[in-house]
Amino acid sequence: MEDYILREIDRIGEMLMKIARKMGLFLDDVPDYPLTEVKEEFEKEGCPVSLDVLLEQKYPVKYLVEDIKLSDQSLELLIELFFHSSLEESRKQALLADALTYFDGKGYYSFKLHALEGEKS
């Protein structure tokens, strides 16, 4: 059972990586893109994370980590995807703050997310 869970976590991470590449996240000049495009890519890839459900959560990071079982790397990637989307600025900052609180609580310093902290999209 544990092997199955680990494979599923890896599969979600690979799926998020593929979506991020399609959205241009690994280019030097990161584009901003409509949230609808992110949702379409998630649906095309069959990603088990519903963005609508996720955005309705009071504590989205807790939901992703505890319910969806997202890995730390996948969580960083997903927050970065949201950060470069058309999601309203206050929601982006709230997601980023939630993720940073989670990582800081684990004693993990996310250079990627801390770099976004000072950046305005």
CB 76 within 8 A of CB 99: yes
- Cα–Cα distances in angstroms (integers) from residue 87 to residues 7, 65, 79, 93, in the given order: 30, 21, 11, 10
pLDDT tens for each residue of 31-41: 577 878 878 87
pLDDT tens for each residue of 47-89: 778 888 888 999 999 999 999 888 898 898 889 888 888 889 9
Indicate the length of the chain as a whole number: 121
Cβ neighbours around 72 below 10 Å, total:
15
> Rounded to 5 degrees, what are φ and ψ at 118?
-90, -10
Is the pTM here over 0.75, yes or no? Answer: no
Domain ranges, ordered by start, for the chain: 2-117
